[in-house]
Structure 1
Amino acid sequence: MQQVRSQQTGKRLKKSRYITGFDGIRALAVVGVIVYHLLPYNLQGGYLGVPTFFVVSGYLITDLLLQEWEQNGRIDFLGFYARRLKRLYPALVFMLVATGTYITLFERSLLTNLRSIITTNMLYLYNWWEVGHGQSYFDRFNGESPFTHLWSLSIEGQYYLIWPLILIAFILIIRKKKNIAYLLLGLGVFSGILMGVLYTGPDTLNRVYYGTDTRMFSIIFGALLAIIWPSTHLKKQISTSSRWTLNVIGILSILVMAVMFFELSGQNTFTYRGGMFIMAIVSTTLVAACAHPGADVNRWLTNPVFSWIGSRSYGIYLYQFPVMIFYEMRVRDIAANPLLNATIEIVLIMVISELSYRYIERPLRHYHYKQLGMSIAEFLRPNSQYGLKRLWLVPAMALVGVCLYGSAIAPTKAQKSALQENILKNESSANAHNKAALAKQKKARRLAANKRKMRMLMNKKLTPTQYQIAKKYRLTKKQYLIASHQPLTAIGDSIMADNSHDLQTVFHQAYVSAKVGRQIWQADAVLTQLKKRGELAPNVLINLGTNSPMTSAQIDKVVQAVGKGHRIFWVNTHVPTRNWETEVNATIAKAAKKYPHFYVIDWHGYSATRPDWFWQDNVHPNPQGNVQYTHLVAKNISQQLNHF
């Protein structure tokens, strides 16, 4: 074997070989993650590229550590840690400083906890900070952070710190590789089971998604593979049947990964009770097939495009969120051209990653830091060989200074905007009204059974107060009377919370359950509880779809939770700042064709040309928009109920 320097450890190993196909695996993984973040409707399981990264890291690091142990009878721990820092820290520090600077200068709404975020990332503890402070990885609207994706780098950093010590302890105490493999298998299975046990629904998602203990099975499986399938012990000359067995395993692994990329939603319970575990196993079999020199999988995954993406995958992963979030905060109509905007974002990510690779990652990875003192002295010398390159120090120091200033002034608790204050006020009002609304609903159901009394009610003259309400919301007498006397259960997100006061002003018997950040997979539990208590009204108003994409299966689940004997009125979305707006509305429209008791209220079409109806985010209706929203809802519901 040719003597090569490992890109993972930097250690010169006589028998080590660079497996080019691993760049292909990294490329597939990072493309999955990027496409998921940009077009979640098209690749709802793309986030599963992360377990694949973990498996590759687990295999490569363990394989190279074992090679070093076999050849030298020892492992240079300090050298290993130094090489890891040289490989990972420069780009991470630059990303943190650049992002912090941009936030300080242009997006101060994201300043909250900046100091803690940067500190925990530098210490590789950010995933645990996210468990207690972060939002759901799948909440794509409610204050999404440009740092959220860094949780996985913290887990890898913890692995790099602890695993070499554990591995040597295993070698010295257990000794037999077979027994070490069994122990790792047990630990991996335990981690997978722990994920399934701790996941009990949306409230525990952050704990299992970000937790080191619940995500370690992917890295452990990679390490286990390195124990039983060391790259330098695999023979190139194997039988034809063995070669094709490995090839078929590789092909099937890629196919299963592709299916899971397209089908396995991050809100699916199966994801945490087997799905992600299966993805780790499939990634491990793909790595095994690719690592074997007798198979063709390595060659199939080797090409210039995959090599370019794979070698820059670390930078691509690092810079993706800041680019996406900052771009989407500036471009207010993402939904109008989702593919065009996604293309622009991809180009920006690739350009920044290439610049980072050329001028930060590669030079600093190979720099000999023992020469730092001499380099500083040369830098300060009047006739320095660095020449005009020294001018780069000015913007570098400016970036650091602005970022430090932003960290110093960053609040630990976000200050509420006028919109947030309005939502909190309306939520409080809705909660106070709900108990009375339920009592009125019981009385109204008895009244609805008496057709004669209902006709008399409709013929009554409006009181001055009722007349003013009907006038404000542009409702006819009949529309107002139908709306005001109909029991209604309203389930929604922050749009509904923002509108709840206006809604209950018209719908006197409306029970409103609205929560900021609520997603469609959380509606099932709310509806089930209301139904169990006998508090689900015959008319159910739903406003969900703002915070993330939704699938037909998720809508089906909501419809099933509502059950027969109820009419569903679903308000479609006005969320032009997100690329899933069109797909969400198409999915809602599809459900209306499927279910005879399902009606769409077209808020998107009604409000599309009226930016003056919205707060600055162009998503939440302002007071004027709430009046228009309530008018549309009341008009649609009264028209449908007039037929019954």
Structure 2
Amino acid sequence: MEKKRTKKRRYITGLDGVRTLAVLGVILYHLMPDRMRGGYLGVPVFFGISGYLITDHLRMEWEAKGKISLKAFYARRLKRLYPPLVFFLLTTTAYITLFQRNLLNNLKGAVTSALLYVNNWWQINQGMSYFERFTNESPFTHIWYLSVEAQNYLIWPLLFVLLMKLFKKREKIFLVVFIAALASALWMAIAFVPGADPTRVYYGTDTRIFSIWLGSAMAFLWPTSHLRKQIPPKAKQILNTVGIACLIILIASFFFLDAHYTFVYRGGMVLISLVSVLLIMVVAHPGASLNKWLSNPLFSYIGKRSYGIYLYQYPVMIFYEAKVKNIADNVWLHTLIEVILIVLIAEVTYQIIDKPLSRFDYSKTWSTVKGWFEKPLLTWKKAFLLPGIFLIVTALVGFIIAPSNHVTAEQKQMQEQILQNKKVAEESKKKAKEKETATSDSTAETTSSADAAHLAEIATEYGLSKEDAAAAAKLSFTAFGDSVMLGAAQNMKDLFPDVVVDANVNRQVYSSQDLIQKLADEDLLKDPVVIGLGTNGDFTETQFADFMKLLGDRKVYWLNVHAPSLRIQGVVNSALTKYAGSYDNLTIIDWYNYSKDHSDWFYDDQVHLTPEGRIGYTKLLFETLSKK
């Protein structure tokens, strides 16, 4: 009996338009996080497309042959995804080896986990954060997404076969897969901890696979081979209305759905995934108009190159911003340059890797390689291989010499200072709790004599008069901030003995509310309060308002940020200036302008403080607080 051939599925051109919107959302989220707060939601769109198309293809093969070829399925996926990934890893590693060796640290783990498609779990295990690029700088951060995809490719065909054998009706399979997807979404909601870094639930296959499986579920309910082009006008109108509504909701979410909102992880992301899948279904229907509306040469160009664009976005941003130290001075210009570079590199790789290898017969790999060596020693074609050989050798050298958890002398100095100052900060809180209310006359006299010598020393170190040093010693306030403030903790304790310092690395506004409340509960939240947050990420007006509400009527002094190599500098400083007008008890301390002409105050990152910078930072606090 002659076997049926699998019917060739039509290419849905409108999905290139959907891919374009998704990849633009992701890139602009990284480049302009203040304007595209929800651009990360482009990832669930990609997941939905993948789940729908892969399952639709498996379903068509099953209908034609009564089985699927797992070997052929895995071979197709590897042929499509692996060569561009390997080339990306080679070029990125080679660049790091030649031009940016500070990124060699932990490169072996990043590359190996990427090749094995377990990068998401590797990053989770390493404690890396998707939302704190400043402290987790890596051109491989975004590879977590490919790992989730690949892990689904590994298990889904097996589950598909099992479901097809267990259930005869597509509706039942749809229901089972849909419930499984909702279970994953529920697990995300349970595992998410409000106020904590959401990276675990953001990266985890178990907490993200619902976006893919929602697409897979819909492929059973909405198979492309069963959709008719000729449908009643009313049905067409309904489809178009649903599609347009989904498109509007999706684009709006890109602008407004901040990744730190609790709602995102407790219903928001699954809702956006459903909206994305509904949009995909409408675009896939030949009777609707959205496929035509989202089909144009520009969308086709970007959509076909979306994989390469996604791959090279992070390396371009990391490498470019490492060389250009004044990103914050002209964010729009540098954003445009980076977008152009990303597209150009994606185009080159599309032409030299994606297109040629998509037509290559891998069964002839050995004969092709053998043929190269049977040709004359030197030919023009072989000459073209030299750059490739250089690339591979350079990348291998970098991979071999890459250290694990290596720190430079400067990083070691900063880490030691931070550890020391953490103890100082904790000691300041302990002493505030145990503060003595009285001293004997003799002790007071001895202390007074010792204090006089100490004040003279402090006055000299900070360039103050003895009177100013004495005035500083009487100031009492709470200082709450991130690693920049933590770096100056000892200096603050020296100049302001009665200060309470609560500062730590990676701290942001959205995750600090519980910490502020704890200080208040322990009677350690003095009046005034000095805040030093904003280096690790910006904040919404709502997050800022919630934070200020916890501080009550206390006088608040908020330091703006000095981070010229980060585009976030202008965003945070502009927001602080804007919000200050709404609070009578809020004063912005202009750390940026005070420090911008003192390059010796900062380490190479232009953010963290050298010994000279700590003195300048602390002196500015005195100059501001003494005017209150």
TM-score by length of 1: 0.92
Is 1:572 equivalent to 2:540 in the alignment? no
Is residue 129–residue 136 contact of structure 2 (8 Å, CA) maintained in 1? no
Once the two structures are TM-superposed, the CA of residue 182 in structure 1 deviates from its matched residue by 0.9
Residue in structure 2 matching 1:261, options 254, 264, 280: 254
Alignment partner, residue 183 of structure 1: 176
Is 1:135 equivalent to 2:128 in the alignment? yes
| CA distance, structure 2, for counterparts of residue 477 and residue 488 of structure 1 | 21
* Aligned-pair identity (%): 41
Off by >4 Å, runs of 4+ in structure 1: 440-447, 459-462, 476-479
Once the two structures are TM-superposed, the CA of residue 551 in structure 1 deviates from its matched residue by 2.1
Q: Give the aligned residue type for 1:55.
A: G
SS at 2:399's partner residue?
A: helix
Trace 1:356-395 onto structure 2 (pairs within 5 A): 356-383=349-376, 387-395=379-387
Is residue 423–residue 497 contact of structure 1 (8 Å, CA) maintained in 2? no
Q: Which moved more, 1:434-443 or 1:249-258?
A: 434-443
Residue in structure 1 matching 2:596, options 604, 608, 620: 608
Superposed CA deviations along residues 333-356 of structure 1, whole A, max 9, x for unmatched, are 100111111111111110110011
The size of the alignment, in residue pairs, is: 617
Trace 1:153-552 onto structure 2 (pairs within 5 A): 153-201=146-194, 203=196, 205-383=198-376, 387-432=379-424, 434-436=426-428, 438-440=430-432, 463-477=452-466, 479-552=468-541
TM-score by length of 2: 0.94
| CA distance, structure 2, for counterparts of residue 12 and residue 32 of structure 1 | 39
Is residue 312–residue 346 contact of structure 2 (8 Å, CA) maintained in 1? yes
SS at 1:139's partner residue?
A: coil
Is residue 613–residue 624 contact of structure 1 (8 Å, CA) maintained in 2? yes
Superposed CA deviations along residues 445-480 of structure 1, whole A, max 9, x for unmatched, are 999xxxxxxxxxxx9998232133133223455543
CA distance 1:622–1:427, shift in 2 (3 Å):
same
Q: Give the aligned residue type for 2:404.
A: T
Gaps of 5+ in 1: 1-10, 448-458
CA distance 1:77–1:440, shift in 2 (3 Å):
closer
Once the two structures are TM-superposed, the CA of residue 443 in structure 1 deviates from its matched residue by 5.4
Is residue 144–residue 325 contact of structure 1 (8 Å, CA) maintained in 2? yes
Q: Give the aligned residue type for 2:484.
A: I
Q: Give the aligned residue type for 2:546.
A: K
The two structures, once aligned, show a CA RMSD in angstroms of 2.3
Trace 1:6-17 onto structure 2 (pairs within 5 A): 13-17=6-10
Alignment partner, residue 454 of structure 1: none
Alignment partner, residue 455 of structure 1: none
Q: Give the aligned residue type for 2:295.
A: T
SS at 1:337's partner residue?
A: helix
| CA distance, structure 1, for counterparts of residue 333 and residue 566 of structure 2 | 13
Once the two structures are TM-superposed, the CA of residue 561 in structure 1 deviates from its matched residue by 2.1
Q: Give the aligned residue type for 1:399.
A: L
Alignment partner, residue 93 of structure 2: 100
Gaps of 5+ in 2: 440-447
Superposed CA deviations along residues 573-600 of structure 1, whole A, max 9, x for unmatched, are 0000011211110111122211111111
SS at 1:463's partner residue?
A: helix
Q: Which moved more, 1:545-554 or 1:318-327?
A: 545-554
Alignment partner, residue 633 of structure 1: 621
| CA distance, structure 2, for counterparts of residue 598 and residue 327 of structure 1 | 36
| CA distance, structure 1, for counterparts of residue 402 and residue 521 of structure 2 | 45
Once the two structures are TM-superposed, the CA of residue 571 in structure 1 deviates from its matched residue by 0.6
Is residue 430–residue 501 contact of structure 1 (8 Å, CA) maintained in 2? no
CA distance 1:442–1:540, shift in 2 (3 Å):
farther
| CA distance, structure 1, for counterparts of residue 16 and residue 584 of structure 2 | 51
Q: Which moved more, 1:585-594 or 1:612-621?
A: 612-621
| CA distance, structure 2, for counterparts of residue 440 and residue 369 of structure 1 | 71
| CA distance, structure 1, for counterparts of residue 373 and residue 269 of structure 2 | 53
Q: Give the aligned residue type for 1:157.
A: A
Is residue 427–residue 497 contact of structure 1 (8 Å, CA) maintained in 2? no
SS at 2:168's partner residue?
A: coil
| CA distance, structure 2, for counterparts of residue 258 and residue 483 of structure 1 | 52
SS at 1:513's partner residue?
A: strand
